[in-house]
């Protein structure tokens, strides 16, 4: 089940790459459902701290990512269903960006306005 919002919101962290919202513990035990491949946060609290952020704005409960314009706009249409932030403040460590670019991807900061 998705994590709950409300009072527990403060405990949630947002992935700096895909903006998925999870508790610190989830990140620690399961990693990011979308980006674990490059972030490799599982088991490393330090890595969780630098690759996720508590400063985020808005929340999206994404039920059908592939069908969703919201998901497309947020570039999470290829991600897992789940809860995402609209905006996440912070930048991942350089190695993450490098890893993304090495895969031919583009790192798009989650806290910037495009265009």
Partner 1 sequence: MSNIEASSSPVDPKSEDEMDERPTTKKRPRIVDPDEEDNADDAVEAKDDEKAEEDEGDEDEDDDDDEDDEEDEDEENDGERRRKRRRKQKRYRFLDVEAEVDDEDEEEDEDNDYGDVAEFIDEAPEEGAAQSDYQHRRLDRSFGRNEEEDVQDIVQRLKERHARTAAARYNGDSDAVPQRLLMPGVNDPSLWRVYTKTQSGREAAICASIFRKVFSQQYSANPIEVISVFFRDSLSGMIFLEARTSAAVSAAINGIVGIFASRGVSLVPIEEMAPLLKIKKKDVNLIPGMWIRMKRGKYNGDLAQVVDTDQITSGVVGIKFIPRIDLTPREKRKEKAANGKGLASATKPPSRLFSYDDVRKIYGRQSVRTSAQGSFFFDNDEYIDGFCVKDVKIAIIESENVNPTLEEISRFSGDDQSTAKFDLSAIADANKNLTVSVLFPGDQVEVYEGEQTGLYGSVETVSSDVIAIKAVGGDVHGQTIEVPSRSVRKRFDVGEHVKVLAGKNADATGMVVEIKGDVVTLMSDQGEQEIKVFSKDIRKAADTTNTTKQGGLYDLHDLVMLDSTTAAVVTKVEGALLRVLDQNGAARSVTPDQVTIRRDNKRFAVATDSQGNDMKVGDNMKETEGESRQGEVINIFRSLFVFLHNRDLTDNNGVFVARAQSLISVTPKSAVSDLGKMNPALNQQLPYGGASLMPPPPTNINRNRLINTLVVVVKGTSKGLLGTIRDIQGDNARVELKTNNKTLTIALTSLKRKDQKTGATFPLEAGGQSTFGRGPAAGGYDVNPYSGAPTTGGQTPGGFGGRTPGARFGQTPNPYAAGAMGGGKTPNPYAAAAGAGGRTPAPGWGAGGKTPAPGWGGAGGKTPGWGGGGGKTPAPGFADGGRTPGWGASGMGGKTPNPYGAPAGPSGGRTPAPQGSMYGAGANAGGPSYGNGPLTAPTPYGGPTPGIQSAPTPAAPSNLYSAPTPYGAPTPFAGPPTYAAPTPGGPLSAPTPGMGGPTPYGAPTPFGGAPTPYGGGATNGGVAGPEGIAWDWALDFRNVIVEVGSSQKPNTRSPLHFQRGLHDGKRFGYDTINGELCHCISLDDPNTIEDIPAEYLKPSKPDQPGQMVVCVGASGSQEQQRGLQRITQYENGGSWMMEMDPEDSSALVWEAIDLCRIWKV
Site for partner 1 in 65-104 (CB under 8 A): 65-83, 86-87, 89-90, 99-100, 103-104
SS3 70: helix
Buried b / exposed e along 78-115 (16+ C-beta atoms within 10 A) = ebebbbbbebbbbbbeeebbebbeeeeeeeebbbeeee
The least CB distance from residue 30 to partner 1, in Å, is 5
| Span 10-49, contacts to partner 1 by CB under 8 A | 16-17, 20, 22, 30-38, 40, 42, 49
- Residue 36, classified by CB atoms within 10 Å of its CB into exposed (0-12), middle (13-18) or buried (19+), is middle
Q: Applying CB under 8 A, what is the total number of residues that bind partner 1?
A: 73
Interaction between residue 64 and partner 1 (CB under 8 A): yes
81 Cβ partners below 8 Å, 6+ apart?
62, 63, 64, 65
The least CB distance from residue 94 to partner 1, in Å, is 13
The least CB distance from residue 85 to partner 1, in Å, is 10
Among 25, 45, 55, 98, binds partner 1 (CB under 8 A): 55
Among 28, 44, 95, 111, binds partner 1 (CB under 8 A): 111
């Amino acid at each position: 089940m998705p994590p709950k919002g409300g009072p527990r919101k403060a405990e949630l962290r947002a992935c700096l790459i895909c903006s998925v919202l999870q508790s610190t513990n989830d990140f620690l035990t399961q990693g990011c459902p979308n980006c674990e491949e490059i972030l490799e946060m599982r088991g490393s609290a330090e890595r969780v701290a630098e690759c996720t952020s508590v400063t985020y704005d808005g929340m999206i409960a994404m039920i059908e990512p592939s069908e969703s314009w919201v998901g497309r706009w947020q570039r999470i249409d290829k991600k897992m269903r789940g809860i995402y932030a609209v905006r996440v403040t912070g930048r991942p460590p350089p190695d993450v960006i490098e890893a993304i670019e090495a895969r031919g991807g583009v790192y798009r900061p989650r806290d910037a306005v495009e265009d």
